[in-house]
Amino acid sequence: MLGVLGGSGLYEIDGIEILEEKKLITPYGEPSDSYIVARYKGKNVVFLPRHGRGHKFPPHLINYRANIWGFRKLGVRKILSISAVGGINPLLRPGDFVISNQFVDFTKVRPVTFYEGVYTIHDEEDRTDDLVNEYLKNDRVVHIDVTQPFCPVMRGTLKNVLEDMKVRFHSTGTYGATEGPRLETAAEIKALSILGADIVGMTLVPEIVLARELSMHFASLNVVTNMAAGISENRLTSDEVIQMMREKNEEIKKVVLKFIES
Ligand code: HPA
């Protein structure tokens, strides 16, 4: 089953039937919000707003482990992540879509793994939890391979969908992940650029890493909402990010529908 991780209200799309809203508690605590289980053209899909409805959680305080664990618990095996990013590569323009194929990680304070060596049983239910037993019971140290972090099949599907829609997009891009919630300095963006980052954002890591630890496929569709610090001549504001995501909302919903269908 497909899971869609994105903004709030993304599931409010004509033609999508909402089946149920599931509130979960995981061994890592509460996900950002309830999961919305929906159906479109015979296929089930689960939505979760990563910041919670009303944008409650800033990027560095999102409970990424609970969010990803909850998806897996509900039977999700593929995650389509949608996020706003700043553009670093000068070939990008605000409003472009980027299907990232690599990331570099500059986050600092987030729990980054499910594998912490010794698993603490949080409560008695954990002992009989299939997922806990499948992934964590042996108190393992695990180093997953992320040479190619993104799913090539899902990326191919995204590319076909965006081509069909005739919108401006880039089929590759390296995502520089920063801690936030502050935006970057001009020097940080210059450094990220030298290191090969095309876009910058605050949420991909550890989302993708955690999904991969639980054997899920992951693809990320990024919307360039602004040019990054020092590349844009203007002072950056959250308003321009929100405004651009609003403008792209209908296109994003169309991508999601076509993605579910294909
Ligand atoms: N930097 C970091 N994250 C972002 C940006 C940015 O410029 N724009 C949207 N998300």
Predicted complex ipTM: 0.99
CB proximity list for 213: less than 8 A, separation 6 or greater: 113, 114, 115, 135, 142, 144
Q: Which of 200, 204, 222, 244 to mutate to test the pocket of ligand 1 (most atoms within 8 A of CB)?
A: 200
pLDDT score at 118: 73
How confident is the model at residue 199, as a pLDDT?
A: 98
Q: Is 98 in the pocket of ligand 1 (CB under 6 A)?
A: no
pTM of the model: 0.95
Q: What is the mean pLDDT of residues 215-229?
A: 97
- Render pLDDT for 153-197 as a digit per residue (tens, 0 to 9): 999 999 999 999 999 999 999 999 999 999 999 999 999 999 999
> Do residues 11 and 89 make contact, with C-beta atoms less than 8 angstroms apart?
no
Q: Tell me: is residue 83 an annotated ligand-binding position.
A: yes
Our answer on whether the CB atom of 86 is closer than 6 Å to any ligand 1 atom is yes
Q: Closest Cα partner for 36 from 54, 24, 25?
A: 24
Q: What is the mean pLDDT of the chain?
A: 93
Q: How far apart are CA 245 and CA 233, in angstroms?
A: 20
Average pLDDT over residues 116-144: 77
